[in-house]
Structure 1
Amino acid sequence: MAVAVRETVHAHQAAHRLPDVISERPLHRFTLDEYHWLIENGFFQPEDRLELIEGYLVETSPLGPPHAGVVDSVMEELVAKVKRRAKVRIQQPITLPQQTTEPEPDFVLARRTDTYRARHPFPEDILLVGEVSDSTLAYDRGKKARLYAEAGIQEYWIVNVIDGVLEVYRDPIGSGNNADYRTKLTYTADETVTPLALPNCRIDLVPIFYEDVDDVLAEEDE
């Protein structure tokens, strides 16, 4: 059985070298229980970067320095401003049971009602989910937005590194391929934004988008 499962995993990895690309060869669709079993039994290598998307194993892009650096900046700003009002999770899995999906978003604000040591956050635990997007912008605006909306996650942020803006998606509607967010807002790099679930928390975008933050703040004070 282990050999057969390993061959299935390798077939998935070969067919999903890029997001949203599925081979014409029929592939087994994993359940969440099967996916967790594979993880627990060491079927993936430490260097494997995989997500379960609608039952399929999808290989994610390696993180380049710009992407990783922005993720670090997002983490620092969220931790500083959110404090203990929510759990700040960085590139950790969330579980979307209805979509048979377990992605690893770049950042999540989760309710503090659970330690998430026995399970990953479910949609009802998630206050905000976000992705840092450069080469994956179309995928994050498309399939990822649809999955998060269908799961009922109330707020989705895309840190659009290409255009230097924050895209904020709210008010999920619809199901299946028709799932979407009714409200779409865009914030420039010198603005602040307040998460819906944390009305007293203002996130400053300057430290996220600007590399030389001190220089930018000094210019604003002049």
Structure 2
Amino acid sequence: MQNSETTLQLRLWTVEDYHRMAEAGIFGAEERVELLEGKIIWMVAKGTAHRSAVGRTDRLLQNRLSNLALICVQDPIRLNKRSEPEPDIAVVKIDPLDYADHHPTSSEVYLIIEVADSSLKLDCEIKAKAYSQAGISDYWVLDVVSRQLYVFREPSPEGYQIKSILAEEQAIAPLHFPDVEILVLEMLPPVIGDL
């Protein structure tokens, strides 16, 4: 009889393992996965509200932060040797080589934004902890269902020390760009009945 208290030992993958698996064709072309804390995570299918919010936020940040930062959309960032997520939006330092030789690392990230339609728990708990442990100072989760913004700041190994929720009519500025005020509503898809 097996002891029910036995802890399962998992084989955690490194970023290098993950890249080798991709190069070997282990992941199908249609499979969307990312590496988080050594585990390969299936990315949730994106709905129309999600797609709209990502596009609106990308255009907004491109306009407001042009020549100040690079805006990456659903591109990999390397947090550590076991995590290479693909956040919906990453605002990163401008690199003269446009990151031709590496993915942006934690020290090169100003802000990460995840858009949540069905992934709110994953984004606010698991991803928030991984981003906090990697030292990402400014992490936002745009909840397109409840039409609000979760803001996580002051990272620590245990998780973010400051967490707040903003309503759609409230404004915020990224920590690294305090003069760039953004209304939460500007990132959200329009309400169809209001058009």
Q: Shorter-chain TM-score: which interval?
A: 0.7 to 0.9
Post-superposition Cα deviations, 1:124-146, rounded to whole Å, max 9, x if no partner, equal 00001110012111111111000
Q: Which position in structure 2 is the counterpart of 1:184? A: 163
Q: Secondary structure at the match of 1:145?
A: helix
Structure with greater helix percent = 1
Q: Which position in structure 2 is the counterpart of 1:45? A: 28
- 1:111 and 2:111 correspond: no
Would you say how many aligned residue pairs link Structure 1 and Structure 2?
Answer: 187
How far apart, CA to CA, are the structure 2 residues paired with 1:58 and 1:133? 16
- What fraction of aligned residue pairs are identical, expressed as a percent? 30
Q: Which position in structure 2 is the counterpart of 1:153? A: 136
TM-score, normalized by length of structure 2? 0.88
Pairs within 5 Å for 1:76-155: 76-98=59-81, 100-114=82-96, 115-155=98-138
Q: Measured at CA, do residues 108 and 25 of structure 1 come closer, stay the same or move farther in structure 2, by a change above 3 Å?
A: same
| 2:154 paired residue among 152, 168, 171 | 171
Deviation for aligned residue 1:26: 6.1
TM-score, normalized by length of structure 1? 0.77
**8 Å Cα contact 2:113/2:141 also seen in 1:** yes
Q: Which position in structure 2 is the counterpart of 1:195? A: 174
Greater RCO (Cα-Cα under 8 Å, separation 6 or more): 2
- 1:211 and 2:190 correspond: yes
Q: Measured at CA, do residues 47 and 78 of structure 1 come closer, stay the same or move farther in structure 2, by a change above 3 Å?
A: same
Post-superposition Cα deviations, 1:150-191, rounded to whole Å, max 9, x if no partner, equal 000001001011221111111112x2xxx2111122222122
The amino acid of 1:112's aligned partner reads: I
Q: Which runs of 5+ in 2 are unaligned?
A: 1-6
Post-superposition Cα deviations, 1:3-51, rounded to whole Å, max 9, x if no partner, equal xxxxxxxxxxxxxxxxxxxxx9865322211111222333322211101
How far apart, CA to CA, are the structure 2 residues paired with 1:71 and 1:89? 11
Deviation for aligned residue 1:210: 4.6
Q: Which runs of 5+ in 1 are unaligned?
A: 1-23, 217-222
